[in-house]
Amino acid sequence: MNWMIYTAVICQLSLGLLIGCDCENPNIVSNSINIESSSPALLPSSPTSTSNSIQSLPATTPALSTQSAIPVKILNMKGKEGWALSKQELLFTTNKGNSWIEKIPNGITPEELLIDAAFANPVNGFAFYLRNGKNPTLRTAHQTIDGGGNLTGWEIADLPAKEAWEVSPDVKPYVFLADYNPNWVLLTSGPALGLMNKSLFQTADHGKSWIRVADISNQVSGYPNGIAFRIPKEGWITATNHGQSFIPFYRTKDAGLTWDIQPLAIPDKFKNGYANTYQVVFDQENDHHGMVTVEFVQDEQRTLIPYETIDEGATWNPIPYILPDLQAPPIFHFDDLIRGSAVSLDGSTLYTIDMYSKEDWKSVKPNLSLKQISQLYIRDDGMGWFLRNGKIMVTSDGGKTWTLP
């Protein structure tokens, strides 16, 4: 597939992104914090392009070391290098998560608030900073490379915000990153009286400039947790349920200008409950083939069912292999070859599945409990990791044995 898919991975579920142990997917300062033992197409002409302030900068600003800078969310790691977030800092590791250094892109001042970040690999990604003041702005920072693939610095641009909530401290970005342009950012506000504002932005030049596509607050209900595109004009938003009688799953066919509910069939045994949707993934080798994960909640039990498409997302059907008794929120991950892993409610069992095999979930009994982990990744060759309370554990045998990195 020429347009490789990476779903938005900044979500409240902390869906597992790739890190550590030489696994593939989820400027330097020297402040180290140890963790001990433990193009295709542009948009149609209707959106208005906004001129953004841009800075192309070759270095980073040193930051003070702080013992609180332990990862609360892994963004990505490939080989020994990877990105993470602490409560207040953007972190980088060169040793599989044994220690972390804080990164502040040059052009971002210490007073600017780190809102969130997303990386598809050690180079491709965005960090979001809020600059307060009389005219607050939400700024994006991304790394730049030369023709030889070498990092040359950072570039800073402003999102063309129109509403006050888009530049408030509780704004939340959900990012879709592709190998090729365009890239997308879905902004959501904090919920107020059950209502959540939503707006969509796009860059067709790797973050040099952005356009505000649309306010989609009235088109997408529920609380979004991810956005993904198969091709530049066709994408999906997944969301957790907020009182809807339908499964919250939304599709655009016009590059994000309009969104409609895409109906998903509800199995009879779950018709008395409600459903959440997570993580649309399209196969990197065949973009006709993809999946979305649906979580059904009924009688206080949570059941995970992947829905599969083989017709470019026109229709989605539940596979016959369901997974009951999961943690809340569910801890699972599917990669771009549609291989998945998940953790049982009590943390005693790791489940894995390969959608190509057409076989049921397989059970793995780990050497330690996986209860209360916040992120998980298992690669097809058995390499993997999990994050729990700021500490990383790694595996090389498919999750049977876990050790410190």
Burial of 243 (0-12, 13-18, 19+ CB in 10 A): exposed
Identify the band that residue 88 occupies on the pLDDT scale cut at 50, 70 and 90: confident
Residues for the chain: how many in total?
405
Identify the band that residue 278 occupies on the pLDDT scale cut at 50, 70 and 90: very high
Within 13 A of 260's CA, how many CA atoms are on the CB side? 6
Q: What percent of the chain has pLDDT over 70?
A: 82
Residue 239's contacts (CB-CB under 8 Å, 6 or more residues apart) are 220, 221, 222, 223, 224, 225, 248, 249, 250, 276, 277
> Is there a contact between 142 and 154 (Cβ–Cβ < 8 Å)?
yes
Query: Whole-angstrom Cα distance, residue 198 to residue 207?
Result: 20
Instruction: Flag whether 53 is in a domain.
Output: no
Count Cβ neighbours within 10 Å for each residue of 350-360 and write b for 16 or more, e otherwise.
bbbbebeeeee
Residue 66's contacts (CB-CB under 8 Å, 6 or more residues apart) are 31, 33, 88, 89, 102
pLDDT digit string (tens) for 336-349?
A: 777 889 999 999 99
pLDDT of residue 14: 40
> Is there a contact between 60 and 28 (Cβ–Cβ < 8 Å)?
yes
Per the structure, the complete domain to which residue 304 belongs is given by 5-42+59-395
pLDDT digit string (tens) for 359-380?
A: 899 999 999 999 999 999 888 8
Instruction: Flag whether 405 is in a domain.
Output: no
How confident is the model over 48-64, as a mean pLDDT?
44
Laid out side by side, the sheet with 99-103 consists of: 32-34, 99-103, 90-93, 81-85, 73-78
Instruction: Flag whether 48 is in a domain.
Output: no
Averaged confidence pLDDT in the chain: 83
pLDDT of residue 139: 98
Instruction: Flag whether 400 is in a domain.
Output: no
Identify the band that residue 79 occupies on the pLDDT scale cut at 50, 70 and 90: low
Query: Whole-angstrom Cα distance, residue 383 to residue 119?
Result: 20
Domain count of the chain?
1
How confident is the model over 177-185, as a mean pLDDT?
87
pLDDT of residue 78: 65
Instruction: Flag whether 13 is in a domain.
Output: yes
Lowest mean pLDDT among 31-35, 47-51, 200-204, 246-250: 31-35
Burial of 51 (0-12, 13-18, 19+ CB in 10 A): exposed
How confident is the model over 56-67, as a mean pLDDT?
43
Burial of 9 (0-12, 13-18, 19+ CB in 10 A): buried
CATH number of the domain that 316 lies in?
Answer: 2.130.10.10
Helices (runs of H) and strands (runs of E) counted in the chain? 0, 32
pLDDT digit string (tens) for 209-256?
A: 999 999 999 999 989 999 999 999 999 999 998 778 899 999 999 999
Burial of 226 (0-12, 13-18, 19+ CB in 10 A): buried
